[in-house]
Structure 1
C-alpha cells in the first residue's frame, strides 16, 4: 500500500471543510447590513464588556477573561490587569462592575503599595458615583494611609466628607492636601466650601439652641399658668393603660396627673390634628376644643378657644345663619342647644351654662382635660335623642 505524500492527506478534516464552500454558502457569514453589529460580538473587538459572562454562551469571552486572570501571573500583574479592567468599567459608567474589579485586585495582596493605593482610590471614586459615601471615605482613608502624598485620595476624601456634611473633617483633608500642594485649585475650592458649611452649621446650631431654650421657657410658663388656674390634665391613654385615664391620683378623688409629672407631649392633642394649648403675649390661654354631636356622629373643632370667651360666643357663629348640612331638620339652633362635659371617672354628666367662659368650666373640680383637648357633648334640648341619651345618666347642672 502506497504511503500518501506529506500534505496530501490530513486527519483534521480541513480539506473536507474547504470543499464544502464550492457547493454550500457559509451560513454565519457577515453581511453588509449587519457586519458592524456582528463584529462587536467578537471578544477581541468589543467596545463594551457584557454585564454578565456565561461560559456556556460566551466561551471565547470567558477564555479571554481567564487569560486576564491567569494565576500564572504574579500578584502584581494580576492586580494591574484587574485595575485596568475596573478602569474600563468605570469609563463605561458601570460603577458596580468597577467596584468588583478593584476589589478583586486588592484581594491579590500584591506588594506594590502604590498600586494598592490606586486601587483603593479608584474604588473610592466608583463608590462615590454610586452614592456610597461612607465606603468611598473608607477607601480614600486606606489609600492615604498607604500613600500619604496621594493627592487624588485626599481630594476624594474631602469630597466624601462634604457629601456627608462633615465640614470639620473636610477641612482637615483639604489642609493636609494643601500642605502638599498649596496651589491645587480643586482643594482650594473644596476648602472654601467646607469652611462656609462649617460656619453655617455652627450658626444653625446656635439658633437651634436659642430656639430650644425659648421653647422650654415657654413650655414651663405654660404649665405654670395651667397649674395656677387649677386646671386638671389627664394622662393620654397608652396601650398598656387602655381603659384608665391615669395611674396617678392627685388627692382630690380624680385621676389627673400632677403638672410636675407631665412630659412635654402630655398636653398635645391626640384627637385634633396636633393642635396645642398656648399662651399669648398677654398671658391668656387658648385651647383646642372638640364638640361632639352623638346624634349625628359628627364633630366640630375649634383650634384656639380663648379661655375668656363664652360658649355662646362660638355657638352663635357655628350655628348662625348657615346651619351644618347634616342638620336636615334644622334643630341645631343656639336657643335649643345643651352642652355637657363628662366626668370620666364617675361617668356623670355636667350641663354647662352657655354664658360661662371656657376657663370657668375648666376650673370645675370634676372637669378634666384629656390629651390637651377639652371636649363637650352637644344635644338638642328635649329632642327624642336627647331624652334617650340622658336616660339613666346622672346629670348635674352647673350654675
Structure 2
C-alpha cells in the first residue's frame, strides 16, 4: 500500500475516533451485571471495562492531539514520510541500517572511498566520502545542540533521577568517550579533505574549497586542506585567496613540495594576469581616447547627435574616424540607412564618409533587385533627411554628406544617418503625408 494512502487512512481513523462522544466510547462494550456461563457450563466472571488493556503508549500520546498534529508527527517517521528530503538528517538516519557505531560506519565509507579514489573513480569516491561526512557531521551537530541547550539537559537529568533511570548524558558517556569523539573528529576531518580532492579532480572548485575550509575548522594545521583549497582558488583565477591559503600552509611546513609548486604557479598566474590587466587597461584607455576624438570632431563640425533608450544592435558599426581612428585629422564616417518608404524597403551602408556624396553610393546600390517598375534610378529619385523640427530637407546627390549634417538642422540618432529615397513622381505626396503625421504626433 502506498505510504500516502496509509497516512490518510490513519488520519481518517483518528478523526472518526476523536469525533465520537466520550460516553459512546466508554459504553461500546457494556459491563456484565450477572454471571455468564461458558460453553462448558462453568461460570465466568463478569466482563468489566477494567479487564480490558489500556491504550497503547503511542495511542495515549495522540489522544489529545488534533488530526493535523497526529499526521504531522507520523510524517516525521521514515515509514510515513511522503516527501523525503536529501538532507543530513535523512542521510544520517539511513546510516542506522548499518551495524556498528557512527565511527565504524564512517570509517567503512572512508575505506570504500579510498579504494575508488585509487582507481580514479572520483565521482564514486566522492559519494562514499559524503556518506561518512553525513554520519559524523550529524554526531557533531548533536553534541553542539546539547552544549548550546544546557537547561534542557538539566531538566532531563532531574526527570531521569526522579524515575530512577539512567540519564542520557550517562548513557552517552558510556557510548561515546572523549577519546571516541576525538577519533570521530579526526575521521570527519580526513573525509572532508579526501572529498575536497575528489572535487578538485572533478573541477568542482567551489565545493573543493568549501570542504577544505570545513577540514580547517576541525584542524587549522591540515596541510592538505591548504593545498587543495589553494589549487581550487587558483583554478578560477582567485589569486589573492590562493596566495593566502598557500602562504598559511607554507608557514606550517616551509619544505612542503606540493605547496611550493602551488606558490610557483601562483606567481606565474599573477604575472600573466598582470600582463592581461595592463593590456586591458591600455585597450580601455585607447577606446576612451578615440571616443573623445570623435566627440571633438562632431563638435567642431557642429553635427548634432542623440541617443535613444533602446539603440539598435549594430555589432561593430558606429561613427568612426577614418582612415586612422587615433588621428584627429581623419574624416568622420557614419553608418547610414537608405530608406525606401514607398516600397517599405531599405539598404544599409556601414561607413558613409563625410566627404562622400549620395551619388557615390547610389551608383553601386542601383538597380534595386525588387524594383520591378525601374523607378529607382540616379536621375529618377529625390533624397531627403528629417530635420530637428520634424520637417524635411532635400539632399543634392552630388553634395558631400558633411554639408547636410553640419549646422545643426538635422541630427544623427543612435550614431546612424537616415536618408529617405523617393521616386520623383511620389515624393511630394509622401512628404505631405509625413509632415501631417508628425504634426499629429506633436499635437497629441
Match of 1:107 among 130, 133, 138: 138
Which residues in structure 2 correspond to 1:119-198 (within 5 Å)? 119-198=191-270
Residue in 1 aligned with 2:430?
A: 389
C-alpha distance 160-88 of structure 1, shift in aligned 2 (>3 A) = same
Q: Bigger CA drift: 357-366 or 181-190?
A: 181-190
1:197 CA displacement: 0.7
Distance 1:69 1:381 in 2: 96
TM-score of the aligned structures, taking structure 1 as reference length: 0.65
Deviations 1:268-305 (A, max 9, x none): x6264451101232332111111111233221111111
Deviations along 1:60-106, whole A, 9 cap, x unmatched?
A: xxxx9645365xx2x53344344335546656432562353143132
Report the counterpart of residue 339 of structure 1 in structure 2.
Answer: 383
Match of 1:313 in 2: 360
Separation in 1, partners of 2:131, 2:434: 79
Extract structure 1 runs of 4+ deviating beyond 6 A: none
Tell me the equivalent position of 1:48.
none
Provide closer, same or farther for how the CA distance between residues 69 and 236 of structure 1 changes in structure 2, counting only shifts above 3 A: farther
Q: Name the CA distance, whole Å, in 2 between partners of 1:394 and 1:181.
A: 82
Q: In the alignment, is residue 68 of structure 1 matched against residue 111 of structure 2?
A: no
Question: 332, 355, 372: which is aligned to 1:328?
Answer: 372
Provide Cα deviations, 1:294-328, integer angstroms capped at 9, x if missing partner: 23322111111111222222222222xxx231122
1:183 offset after TM fit, Å?
A: 5.0
Instruction: Name 2:330's counterpart in structure 1.
Output: 283
Distance between the aligned counterparts of 1:329 and 1:184, measured in 2? 84
| Structure number having the greater helix percentage | 2
Could you say what secondary structure the match of 1:286 adopts? strand
Task: Tell me if the contact between 1:99 and 1:123 (Cα under 8 Å) persists in the aligned partners.
Answer: yes
- 1:359-394 CA-to-partner distances (Å, cap 9, x unmatched) read 110124431111110101011222xx4454234456
* Contact 2:227 2:245 (C-alpha < 8 Å) held by counterparts: yes
Counterpart of 1:300 (choices 344, 347, 350) is: 347
Instruction: Decide whether aligned partners of structure 1 residues 68 and 271 sit closer, same or farther in structure 2, where only a CA change above 3 A counts.
Output: closer
The structure with more radius of gyration: 2
Measure the CA separation in 2 of the matches of 1:365 and 1:308.
18
Per-residue deviation at 1:119?
Answer: 1.8
Equivalence map 1:89-104=2 (5 Å):
92=121, 93-94=123-124, 97-98=127-128, 100-104=130-134
Deviates more, 1:97-106 or 1:181-190: 181-190
Report the CA distance shift for 1:393/1:171 in structure 2 as closer, same or farther (over 3 A).
Answer: closer
Question: What 5-or-longer segments of structure 1 have no aligned partner?
Answer: 1-63, 239-268
Residue in 1 aligned with 2:395? 352
Using a 3 Å threshold, how does the CA distance of structure 1 residues 393 and 206 change in structure 2: closer, same or farther? Answer: closer
Residue in 2 aligned with 1:84?
111
Given the superposition, is the C-alpha separation of residues 169 and 393 from structure 1 closer, same or farther in structure 2, using an over 3 Å criterion? closer
Please give the alpha-carbon distance, in whole angstroms, between the structure 1 residues aligned to 2:249 and 2:347.
65
Q: 1:138 to 1:173 in 2, by over 3 A?
A: same
- Cα 1:304/1:176, change in 2 over 3 Å: same
Are the structure 2 counterparts of residues 273 and 134 from structure 1 closer, same or farther at C-alpha, using a change threshold of 3 Å?
closer
The residue correspondences of 1:198-347 to structure 2 (distance < 5 A) are 198-238=270-310, 270=312, 272-279=314-321, 280=325, 281=327, 282-319=329-366, 323-343=367-387, 345-346=389-390
Distance between the aligned counterparts of 2:361 and 2:211, measured in 1?
Answer: 66
Within the candidate set 112, 117, 125, 2:189 is matched to 117
Instruction: Return 365-374 or 127-136, whichever deviates more.
Output: 127-136
Equivalent residues of 2:112, 2:125 under 8 A apart? no
Q: Is the 8 Å Cα contact of residues 197 and 228 (structure 2) preserved in structure 1? A: yes
